[in-house]
Amino acid sequence: MPYSIFKEFVDSCKNDKINVFPFKKALKNAKADFNLKTKSELLDFISNNGLENLNHVNDTPWRDNPDKANPITVHGYKFRSMYKLGYIAFFYNNKTKKWIIKSFHISDDSNSAMKVALDRARLLKRGGENE
């Protein structure tokens, strides 16, 4: 079941892009962590097998759901993309018939030295460190 819901999600990213929306923070992290600058780039990445070695992490109720009468389950997966270990969380809203990408970022379980190096590179790129 966890991978069948993922297949439905990927199919929508490919064939029904108008009904898939990343949260602002997910898109910001996709840009910073994976150089995916737009919604279109993110959805193309997902639909073209950019999420390698997919591993289902969990299914949890959406804590910030404003409509408690409409329970929503968030599906979390870890993946690899080249040398990076990433994390994606998404859900489907039955009321709106929309897929939402809640999270898309470097996994918290990533190699900490790699994460520190990536964070430092981002900081340097923004001119935040004088070294």
Task: Please tell me the predicted confidence (pLDDT) of residue 11.
Answer: 96
d(CA 114, CA 94): 38
pLDDT at 15 over 70: yes
CB-CB contact of 119 with 129 (8 Å):
no
In the chain, where the domains are located: 2-125
d(CA 106, CA 124): 18
pLDDT at 112 over 90: no
pLDDT at 55 over 50: yes
From residue 43, alpha-carbon distances to 22, 65, 80, 118, 123 in Å are 9, 23, 16, 23, 26
pLDDT at 99 over 60: yes
For 81, residues 6+ apart whose C-beta sits below 8 A from its C-beta are 34, 45, 50, 51, 52
Percent of the chain with pLDDT over 70: 83
Please, what's the largest Cα pairwise distance for the chain? Answer: 53
CB-CB contact of 101 with 29 (8 Å):
no
